[in-house]
């Protein structure tokens, strides 16, 4: 908490700055334009809903909103909740990956969250916003190494950078760790509860946005599976016995 990597602080700062501009500088009409151009709207990809002319920006927003939605939030409380989770898990991943790999991982998991949201909400007009999918991906990525021997949670004091560079277990091995299983059950259970209860966030005066729990799952699964593609630390290698005649 007292030695957070700069890249994590930069993302949190960007989230706060964008929210401040939207709430304190932009008019309601301008704020709506921001949502239309940068929020992720599944109906944008279904011409039968309102027609392509109904959404500004042409084909550009079809591409960049897969990521840009992650930098918009319903209100400062929404930013605060995501930032609180981003601090520990984002810091762990940034220490391991470095700034560039961290940013790429953040982007990929955000995109994965938007992709699953699109598949499960095809043609929906309500916009999706928030960094929760990327934060979920960071949580999943951190599971691959934080419980390892010598890792952040295995040490009495977690300030040592070496704790974040321990080799990660292969995915199938990690999934047999009881601590990882407990985390997965609790995390997926909470998100399924969001879906059942239907918790909503106020994203703009006049309409509400339900918690996009499917996007959380998309980001989380992507982070869990794709971690090895970004990890700069060589993984654990299995040592096989040799026999001499």
- Average confidence score pLDDT of the chain: 87
- The mean per-residue pLDDT over the stretch 130-146 comes to 96
Confidence of residue 209 (pLDDT cuts 50, 70, 90): low
Q: What is the pTM of this model?
A: 0.88
Q: Where does the chain have alpha helices with state H?
A: 6-24, 28-38, 60-68, 76-97, 99-120, 132-143, 171-174, 178-197, 213-230
- What domains sit in the chain, N to C, each tagged with a CATH number? 6-230 (1.20.1540.10)
Q: DSSP letters along 159-191, please? A: T-GGGGGSPPPPHHHHTT-HHHHHHHHHHHHHH
Query: How many other β-carbons are positioned within 10 Å of the β-carbon of residue 186?
Result: 10
pLDDT tens-digit profile of 52-106?
A: 557 788 889 999 999 999 999 999 999 999 999 999 999 999 999 999 999 999 9
Q: Which residues, in sequence order, are CB contacts of 211 under 8 Å at separation 6+? A: 132, 194, 199, 200, 201
- The mean per-residue pLDDT over the stretch 214-233 comes to 96
User: Tokens 């021997």 sit at which residue?
Assistant: 149
Confidence of residue 241 (pLDDT cuts 50, 70, 90): very low
Q: Give the residue, 192 or 145, on which the prediction is more confident.
A: 145
Q: Which residues, in sequence order, are CB contacts of 173 under 8 Å at separation 6+? A: 236
For the CA atoms of 145, 66, 82, 22, what is the dihedral angle to 10 degrees?
150
pLDDT of residue 203: 46
> Is residue 111 classed as helix, strand or coil in its secondary structure?
helix
């Amino acid at each position: 908490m007292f030695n957070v990597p700069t890249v994590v602080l930069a993302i949190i700062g960007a989230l706060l700055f964008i929210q401040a501009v939207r709430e304190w500088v932009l008019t309601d009409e301008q704020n709506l334009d921001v949502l239309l151009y940068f929020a992720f709207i599944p109906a944008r990809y279904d011409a039968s809903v309102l027609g392509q002319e109904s959404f500004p920006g042409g084909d550009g927003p079809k591409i960049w909103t897969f990521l840009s939605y992650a930098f918009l939030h319903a209100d400062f409380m929404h930013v605060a909740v995501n930032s609180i989770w981003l601090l520990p898990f984002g810091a762990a991943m940034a220490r391991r990956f470095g700034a560039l790999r961290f940013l790429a991982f953040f982007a990929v998991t955000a995109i994965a969250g938007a992709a699953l949201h699109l598949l499960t909400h095809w043609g929906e007009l309500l916009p999706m916003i928030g960094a929760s999918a990327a934060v979920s991906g960071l949580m999943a990525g951190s599971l691959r190494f934080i419980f390892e021997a010598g890792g952040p949670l295995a040490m009495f004091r977690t300030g040592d950078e070496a704790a974040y560079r321990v080799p990660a277990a292969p995915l199938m091995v990690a999934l047999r760790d009881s601590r990882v299983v407990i985390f997965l059950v609790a995390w997926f259970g909470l998100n399924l509860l969001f879906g059942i209860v239907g918790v909503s966030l106020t994203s703009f005066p006049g309409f509400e946005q339900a918690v996009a729990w499917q996007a959380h799952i998309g980001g989380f699964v992507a982070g869990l599976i794709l971690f090895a593609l970004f990890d700069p630390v060589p993984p654990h290698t299995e040592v096989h016995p040799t026999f001499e005649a």
